[in-house]
Each structure stands twice: as C-alpha cells, then as structure tokens.
Amino acid sequence: MFTPIKGRTVVVTGGSRGIGKGIARVFAAAGANVVITGRDPAVAEAAALELGKAGGTVSYVAGDVASAADTARLAEEVLARQGGCDVVCANAGIFPAASLDAMTEADIDLVLGVNVKGALLTVQAFLPALKASGHGRVILTSSITGPFTGYPGWAHYGASKAAMLGYMRTAAIELAPHRITVNAILPGNILTEGLSEQGEDYLRSTEAVIPMRRLGDVEDIGNAALFLATDEAAYITGQSIVVDGGQILPESPAALDEI
C-alpha cells in the first residue's frame, strides 16, 4: 500500500525502552536499518539484540541527547556505520514528578534539557544527513500532557512537551526547502515500564476515561511514526497527531457513562 522504507536508516533516541522501543520495533519490522540511543549501554545493547529479531538491522549508540558533544558524536557514529540517515525520531524524554512548591531549578533544567534541548540538538546533529537523504523525516514524540491536558507534578514535563510543538512549526518551515518534514506524535497513556510503575489502580482508572477502554500499546505510536516516515506522507509537515484512543475527547468522565 505504501512505498517500502526497507533499507533506510532510522535513528530513535531513547529507543532502548518504552515508546522509543516500540517505535524502533515497528521500523525494524518494516526492514529499516535502525539505530537506537540510550544512556545505559547495557540496556541499549540488550534492546538492540531483542529488536533485531523483528527484522531489518538494529544497533545502538550510547549517549546523552542533552549534551551537544554526545549528539555530535552520535551522528558521526551513525553516519560512519550506515553512510547516511533518513529518519530521526527524537523520542528521548523523562518525566520525574515534582510539585510546583517543591520543584528545584535542577529539576526544571533536567526535564527541559532532555525533552526540549535534546530534540533540538539531535536534529541539528543529523541535519546534513537529512538534507542529503532527499526524503528526510523528523518525528518528535510530544504528549497530550502540556499541549492539551495537565497533571499534578508534571508542570515542567507539560511545558517541555508543549515547547516541542513550537519548535516543530518553525523547524518545519526552515527545512521544507530541503524536502524534510517535521511532525509530532502526541501519545496519550501508553502501557510502558514507566506507566506500569504508577500502579494497578492508576492503570485501571485511566482506562476507564478512555473511550476505547484500553491503554495504548507502544506499537500504536510506532505505526503512526512509520506512516509519517513514508513517501506518501511527504506533503505533511508541521503537524501533530494525537494517538490516545480518544482520551482528550470527553468533556468529563460522565460522558462515557452515556455510551
């Protein structure tokens, strides 16, 4: 149905776990050459070995996306290994909770550094390769938290995810002449290791307010990313796609009692 992306090189930051791992798995299954990044080499290596069974080729480069030196080195290693890069999934993100009255400057710097600065630095590092690709794609992992919703303890996280959309719009304009598209996926509650840590009560109460009555799978986000990476999506840029099972739609939980 779509032009195959088999053989194209896809970089997924934060691809060793959670949503990033799901994105990497979908691209690997489509035959792409996937490179994942993560700060823990042991976790990233294990993830690459597991994901390699899905198809394509999967390797890893350890590094911190909040560091300009690390993102530059990451890009150099990927280009040396693959010879180019076609898709950058700027997915790396953290969400430590802290209430406003307890949040420190270090807390704010950490979240904005990884979630926002990390996305900018990663795309900058791969720009020459994306321009040379001829069909470059940048796919950002934002969230419904920040752009649409809020949650106590995540003021800095919500701010970072909303900031990514502001970045996306300008980047999409600047990179359009190079045939590079820049889009964002806004996940709702996706079943990951991090979400599971919130406890069973949280998971069940969240399911209850989602019209589709289930939490999302990481592959739900991966499939959206795969579509945005296709040649058929070449005229879509500067856009955000919500993947949340309808979570942001109800006016209140009572709306679901009517169906």
**Phi-psi region at 55: left, alpha or beta (left = phi > 0; alpha = psi -120 to 50):** left
Contact yes or no for 35/60 (Cβ under 8 A): yes
Widest pairwise Cα distance in the chain: 57
Contact yes or no for 94/71 (Cβ under 8 A): no
**3-state class (DSSP) for residue 28:** helix
User: Residue 254, Cβ neighbours under 10 Å: how many?
Assistant: 8
**3-state class (DSSP) for residue 61:** strand
Q: Is residue 157 flagged as an active site residue?
A: yes
Catalytic, out of 157, 167, 202, 235: 157
Spatial distance between the Cα atoms of 125 and 78, rounded to a whole number of angstroms = 11
Known catalytic residues are 157
